[in-house]
A and B are shown apart, each in its own frame.
Chain A
Amino acid sequence: QSALTQPRSVSGSPGQSVTISCTGTSTDIGGYNYVSWYQHHPGKAPKLIIYDVTKRPSGVPDRFSGSKSENTASLSISGLRDEDDADYYCCSYAGVYVPFVIFGGGTKLTVL
């Protein structure tokens, strides 16, 4: 299975909103409502920010939201803050056989 497709980079100014897309296929994103998103500041532990397409773990601000349409998932971040400057990875459940999950190539969000 191929990696999910994300834009390599996006940018926005503080206070603005950005959306990161993640495109897969009918056997991953399109087949299940189990898309997750991870925020990664280099040198630190990746952090789960969205699971099951739209759900936020405890402590994740509601500025982060997720959605899905057919084979494409999206992460939206509103009210950009400097600390949002990071890499973002999407991930989809891909079934009961290994590798179970497929990640995207990652998107670098730059807060200008």
Chain B
Amino acid sequence: EVQLLESGGGLVQAGGSLRLSCATSGFTFSDYWMSWVRQTPGKGLEWVANIKQDGSERNYVDSVRGRSTISRDNAKNSLFLHINSLRVEDTAMYYCATESPLSPRALDFWGQGTMVTVSS
């Protein structure tokens, strides 16, 4: 059974930083592009970042580029997202997800999310 479990969220002051983790099991982690997606309170979903299977390509949405780093540890089947200079507008539930090999950027398995709250 495919499982993704996010952790690392919490309450942080604006300007601070957080490292989100996503522990995975039940599939060959190193075969998949991985993404982070966030859901802001009362709003919809927003793709945040993704990383290629070997970590050689990383992409970010404009709003986090320059202050975020996505990384992975294929030996530990884990995905990470480090966000610096946190802003109130970064407050969201953060999900990790696998990118489907069947369709460009479709997200076929997700975790339950970890909540990040940034206070002013």
Q: State the A residues within 8 Å of B (CB).
A: 3, 32, 34, 36, 38, 43-48, 51-52, 55, 57, 89, 91, 93, 98-101, 103-106
B54 at the interface (CB under 8 A from A): no
Q: Could you show 25 A-B contacts with beta carbons less than 8 Å apart?
A: A34-B105, A36-B103, A36-B106, A36-B107, A38-B45, A38-B107, A38-B110, A43-B112, A44-B112, A45-B111, A47-B110, A48-B100, A48-B109, A51-B106, A52-B103, A89-B45, A91-B106, A93-B104, A93-B105, A100-B50, A100-B59, A100-B104, A100-B105, A101-B47, A103-B46
Q: Could you tell me the distance in whole angstroms from the C-beta of B52 to the nearest C-beta in chain A?
A: 13
The B93-120 residues at the A interface (CB cut-off 8 A) are 95, 97, 100, 102-113
What is the bound-complex CA distance between A99 and B60, given in angstroms? 7
What is the bound-complex CA distance between A43 and B110, given in angstroms? 12
Contacts of B47 in A (CB 8 A): 99-101, 103
Q: A47-B110, A48-B108 are in contact. List 16 more A-B contacts (CB 8 A).
A: A3-B44, A34-B103, A43-B112, A45-B4, A46-B95, A46-B107, A91-B45, A91-B106, A93-B104, A100-B47, A100-B59, A100-B104, A103-B46, A104-B44, A106-B44, A106-B45
